[in-house]
A and B are shown apart, each in its own frame.
Chain A
Amino acid sequence: MESFETLSPPVRAAMERSLTSGRAALTRRSLVGACGAALGLGAISACGIPAATSTNSGSTEDRSDKEKVLHFSNWPLYIDVDDKDENLRPSLRAFSKQTGIKVDYTEDISDNDAFFGKIKPQLAAGQDTGRDLMVLTDWMASRLIRLGWVQKLDPANMPHAFTNLDQRFRNPAWDPGRAYSYPWAGIQTVIAYNEKATKGKKITSISQMLSESSLKGRVTMLTEMRDTVGLTLLDMGVDPAKVTEDQYDAAIARIQKSVDSKHIRKFTGNEYGQELASGDIAACVAWGGDLIQLQADSPHIKYVVPDAGYMTSTDNLLVPAKAKHKKNAERLIDHYYRPDVAAELAAYVNYVSPVRGAREELLKLDKEAANNPLILPDAAMAAKAHEFRALTAEEEKRFEQKFSKLIGA
């Protein structure tokens, strides 16, 4: 304060006061505050999410020969269980008996997006997820392959799978020749209705479902974008395998109209079953396997394959990057591609079997199931099957954004 020596004592005192305790005072608190803010800003700009795409093949040392274990994640109610003990899974037990590989089976996938959110941190960081095998729907499988987050499969370890995979599943646009994925089951998306709730009226097309005034407020569609928009596109005469963005927008606009007029009650995941059975939902877009299980309890639930066609997709077995027991996983895939095992699985889960030869085995096992086109589509049904086009990352984001807005969030 030497330079202020010339000032009169009161002025000097006032000056010192303003520096130490006035509003401009550099107190400890304000200094700490400023440092905190600077640190915060620094931390904010230092953050960032690195590119998710992995460049290496994601392979890692395979411990299959040393460790006879396999960690397998699947959806709930998606495997055969023993009638008496639901913790016993006959097809898995047979696999363990033949190979000596102990399978740690968890049903921890209930939603593609949520599961992606769960495994993303490890996969993005190039770490093991603790899983050797998982089952995801094809558009999610396509995203994982695009990101390089799954391992290439070795056909040499899967002789049955390589020969028995049904022809129509062999070359999806997102995984030509099935280098990374093998279908666990096929899904058929059709129209379902509760005969009691529609008072005996048949609902045969999306147009009818969206315009029939007696159904107002009792129609639901699925939150799976490709199923809901796909069926609508087919109804408009557009092939979802070649859909352009304008056509997609038109389909969204069409569904939006029914949302705005409150004709569509809501969009659901696979929780529509209970309400369809009770009649709160009169007609909806539904999955084939669910319908067989629902029909067993509620015979008034009917399904229709629209003349315009229906959507198919698959749930696929994938080996995540850095998984430690790839060979064990391949042996399990191979096990489920033996026609007798495939028939056993199809008879229980009621979804489409992707295995050639499963029909003959299923005929021996369960004649009714073998003749149900929702499990083994006949030629007439197969001719109407359509798939949604594989989307690029940018398209996927835009399409999902528009669909999210349609379903309200």
Chain B
Amino acid sequence: MTAVAQAPAPVKPADPERSPAARRRRRVPYLLLFPGLAWLLIFFVAPMIYQASTSVQTGSLEKGFKVTWHFATYTDALTEYYPHFLRSVLYAGSATALCLLIGYPLAYTIAFRAGRWRNVLLVLVIAPFFTSFLIRTLAWKTILSDGGPVVSGLDTLGLLDLTSSIGLTEGHRVLATPLAVVCGLTYNFLPFMILPLYTSLERIDPRLHEASGDLYAKPLTTFRKVTFPLSMPGVVAGTLLTFIPATGDYINAELLGTTNQKMVGNVIQSQFLRVLDYPTAAALSFILMAVILVMVTLYIRKAGTEELV
């Protein structure tokens, strides 16, 4: 190989494509792609095929499962568990909207107004990741506990009556209600919203704001016509990074919710581990993937952004 490589290239100047050096150069991209492709093949394609197969199998643990192309599993799973799908989309959607509402002003401040505090604020955004996801979610149980200061505060303000009248909370408690689950999701996925927003806002040239002001645009108009459109890639990336994992999440519903707040992730977990009905679990996972794929495609078409940070 080395001998060939060292062969003087100018011998056949007429056909540079055929020279060993060129051939080797052409092989380089494939070699560089190999780890990534192998990774995709082993950890994405193979499990997908295995799961697709599982979803059309029938059988039991004792007798084994065989492929029988039993597509009824899909319709059965959907008719049985459609409330869980609706709930997942609803909770994840609310959490994403809340994340955007909370995250945008924060990212804006860090990008344009923080000055020398910028790095400190960014570290503070990421700081919760230094503790485990599970511990952070368990901490919410203490924060939202029935007799705790948060709940009694909300109760004195009369806010709990308001939220329970629209079904967000239950009586005089927050824990084990939809509100708690949405709060948990919002909290846990907030950094995934803030960071892409921050990167796209930070790239905006401040002179554009000045130019907009010079053209007699009010600050609100500047935001509406200049800043927000330019931050769209961040908004799209942030909402996707929040919405997709939040839809499949089951920890928040498990720890902060109750029987009536279970999401589709909980169903998949329980079908897989407790009931040992692998086909239903696999079918549910595929339906969830399809639902997310369709929603994300529609969303990206609507939001119409080419560039995803």
Inter-chain contact B53/A43, CB cutoff 8 Å: yes
Q: Could you say which residues of chain B place their CB within 8 Å of the CB of A116? A: 273
Assuming A44-B56, A280-B146, is B66 touching A404 (CB within 8 A)? no
Name the interface size band of chain B: 35 or more
Assuming A262-B170, A266-B259, is B67 touching A44 (CB within 8 A)? yes
Q: Could you say which residues of chain B place their CB within 8 Å of the CB of A44? A: 49, 52-53, 56, 67
Tell me the minimal C-beta distance from B91 to chain A in angstroms: 14
Tell me the minimal C-beta distance from B286 to chain A in angstroms: 12
Inter-chain contact A146/B259, CB cutoff 8 Å: no
Inter-chain contact A45/B170, CB cutoff 8 Å: no
Q: How many A-B Cβ pairs are below 8 Å?
A: 113
Which residues 263-304 in A have Cβ within 8 Å of B in the complex?
Answer: 264-267, 274-275, 278-280
Task: Tell yes or no: A47 within 8 A of B by CB.
Answer: yes
Q: Which of B67, B84, B170 contacts A217 (CB 8 A)?
A: B170
Tell me the minimal C-beta distance from B141 to chain A in angstroms: 8
A49 CA / B54 CA spacing, docked (Å): 8
Q: Could you say which residues of chain A place their CB within 8 Å of the CB of B262? A: 408-409
Tell me the minimal C-beta distance from A108 to chain B in angstroms: 16
Task: Tell yes or no: B215 within 8 A of A by CB.
Answer: no
Tell me the minimal C-beta distance from A330 to chain B in angstroms: 28
Assuming A43-B49, A407-B259, is B62 touching A266 (CB within 8 A)? no
Task: Tell yes or no: A18 within 8 A of B by CB.
Answer: no
Task: From A47, A146, A279, A393, name the one whose CB has the most chain B CB atoms within 10 angstroms.
Answer: A47
A165 CA / B262 CA spacing, docked (Å): 43
Name which of B236-244, B274-282, B295-303 contacts chain A.
B274-282
Which residues 258-304 in B have Cβ within 8 Å of A in the complex?
Answer: 258-262, 266-267, 269-278
Inter-chain contact B273/A279, CB cutoff 8 Å: no
Inter-chain contact A280/B175, CB cutoff 8 Å: yes
Task: Tell yes or no: A60 within 8 A of B by CB.
Answer: no
Encode contact with A along B142-155: 1 for CB under 8 Å, 0 otherwise: 00011100000000
Q: Nearest chain-B residue to A44 (Cβ)?
A: B53
Q: Could you say which residues of chain B place their CB within 8 Å of the CB of A53? A: 62-63
Task: Tell yes or no: B206 within 8 A of A by CB.
Answer: no
Q: Could you say which residues of chain B place their CB within 8 Å of the CB of A406? A: 259
Tell me the minimal C-beta distance from B268 to chain A in angstroms: 8
A218 CA / B172 CA spacing, docked (Å): 11
Q: Which of A40, A45, A117, A278 contacts B67 (CB 8 A)?
A: A45
Q: Nearest chain-B residue to A407 (Cβ)?
A: B259
Name which of A26-34, A371-379, A394-402 contacts chain B.
A394-402
Inter-chain contact B271/A404, CB cutoff 8 Å: yes
Inter-chain contact A401/B275, CB cutoff 8 Å: yes
Which residues 50-65 in A have Cβ within 8 Å of B in the complex?
Answer: 50-53
Task: Tell yes or no: B59 within 8 A of A by CB.
Answer: yes
Assuming A43-B49, A266-B176, is B170 touching A50 (CB within 8 A)? no
Sample 24 A-B pairs with CB under 8 A, ordered by A number: A40-B49, A44-B49, A46-B53, A47-B67, A49-B65, A49-B278, A52-B64, A53-B63, A116-B273, A217-B171, A217-B173, A218-B146, A259-B260, A278-B145, A278-B147, A279-B147, A280-B145, A280-B147, A400-B274, A400-B276, A401-B277, A407-B270, A409-B267, A409-B270
